[in-house]
Amino acid sequence: MTQTLAEMAVEVLNTADGRAKTALARQHAATWFAARDAGTPLEIGTASPPMHPARPEAPELLSPRDVPRRKPGSEKGRIALLHAVAHIELNAVDLHWDIIARFSHVPFPLGYYDDWVRAGDEEAKHFNLVSDCLEALGSYYGALPAHAGMWRAAEDTAEDIMGRLAVVPMVLEARGLDVTPGMIEIFRKAGLDDAVEALQIIYGEEVGHVAYGSKWFHFLCGRDGIDPKPEFHRLVRHYFHSQLKPPFNEEKRAEAGIPPDFYWPLADETPVAKR
Ligand SMILES: [Fe+2]
Ligand SMILES: [Fe+2]
């Protein structure tokens, strides 16, 4: 029997091991796109996603203030940074499949599912790339403690597709665009070409994920006659419990369809005067 897309998404969410989760995500994405190309799209269906996706026994999850900080200038520090990135990527795999399964009752054009299946596939690739880098340095995902609470945004917005789009792709993933160039620089200085290459792939593809968020947020606003900017501000203030941190990557945010008046009013500084 052919699985529906929602069932595939739930299967990814319920797979605990990182490499197994990402292998399944990539396989399901290939199945989805093969059916799309053949002109026989899979049924979206409905399914009950778990409130918390299955995760491996390691890493140990600690509150952010208990995760040891290491200087990025050392080998240990670079491993810790890659480990943190791997953790973010694994969480992102679940986030993208969760947005498919959790809101399968909300009617969308098929392009919505294309976008999130592609994003879920790319996150799986990102996790594998970063895990490969960790293994090349003699470590592995699970060797160090990682942040608990990464799933908080998903839980908070489990009932609100507009809130989910505003907070996850348009705030959290957009933040990734702000900080990734600095990380690439750290690994470039250390001569770790594989890590530089992995982060450049991630950086390029994450622009797409932020753009999907903005696209579908605006789609829903347009369908319901809602003014997008004040609605975005309202949702982020409601679901995201801190202010946004400049400096912002205005160029990549613009490329992803997020204009400055979406994020500056939510920042903890006023913009410096523009030249
Ligand atoms: Fe990613
Ligand atoms: Fe992403």
CB-based contacts of 71, cutoff 8 Å, min separation 6: 77
Helices (H) and strands (E) in the chain, counts: 11, 2
Interval between CA 176 and ligand 2 midpoint (Å): 9
Cβ count near 12 (within 10 Å): 29
Interval between CA 63 and ligand 1 midpoint (Å): 22
Rounded to whole angstroms, how far apart are CA atoms 193 and 207? 22
Look at residue 178 and tell me whether its pLDDT is greater than 80: yes
Interval between CA 74 and ligand 2 midpoint (Å): 28
Write out the DSSP string of 166-228.
HHIIIIIIHHHHHHHHHHHHHHHHTT-HHHHHHHHHHHHHHHHHHHHHHHHHHHHHHHHT--H
The long-range contacts involving 103-109, CB below 8 angstroms and separated by at least 24 positions, are 103/161, 103/164, 104/5, 104/6, 104/9, 104/44, 104/45, 104/46, 104/47, 105/46, 106/161, 108/216, 108/219
Interval between CA 224 and ligand 1 midpoint (Å): 30
Geometric angle at alpha carbon 100, from 95 and 101, rounded to 5°: 95
Position 203 scores a pLDDT of 98
Look up residue 248 and give its two tokens.
Answer: 């912002």
Interval between CA 149 and ligand 2 midpoint (Å): 17
49's torsion region: left (phi>0), alpha (psi -120 to 50) or beta? beta
Of all residues in the chain, the percent with pLDDT exceeding 90 is 91
Interval between CA 88 and ligand 2 midpoint (Å): 9
Rounded to whole angstroms, how far apart are CA atoms 81 and 87? 10
Residues around ion ligand 2, judged by CB within 5 A, are 92, 173, 209
Interval between CA 273 and ligand 2 midpoint (Å): 31
Look at residue 271 and tell me whether its pLDDT is greater than 60: no
Give the confidence band of 274 by pLDDT, cuts at 50, 70, 90.
very low
Look at residue 141 and tell me whether its pLDDT is greater than 90: yes
- Model's pTM, two decimal places? 0.95
Look at residue 72 and tell me whether its pLDDT is greater than 80: no
Look up residue 32 and give its two tokens.
Answer: 């989805």
CB 120 within 8 A of CB 220: no
The three-class DSSP label of residue 4 is coil
Alpha helices in 38-173 (DSSP H): 75-102, 110-136, 152-156, 161-167
Interval between CA 34 and ligand 2 midpoint (Å): 22
Interval between CA 204 and ligand 1 midpoint (Å): 10
Which ligand has the minimum distance to the alpha carbon of residue 210?
A: 2
For the stretch 233-254, pLDDT in tens is 999 999 998 899 999 999 999 9
Chain mean position to CA 190: 26
Average pLDDT over residues 189-216: 98
Interval between CA 82 and ligand 1 midpoint (Å): 12
Average pLDDT over residues 119-144: 98
Interval between CA 55 and ligand 2 midpoint (Å): 18
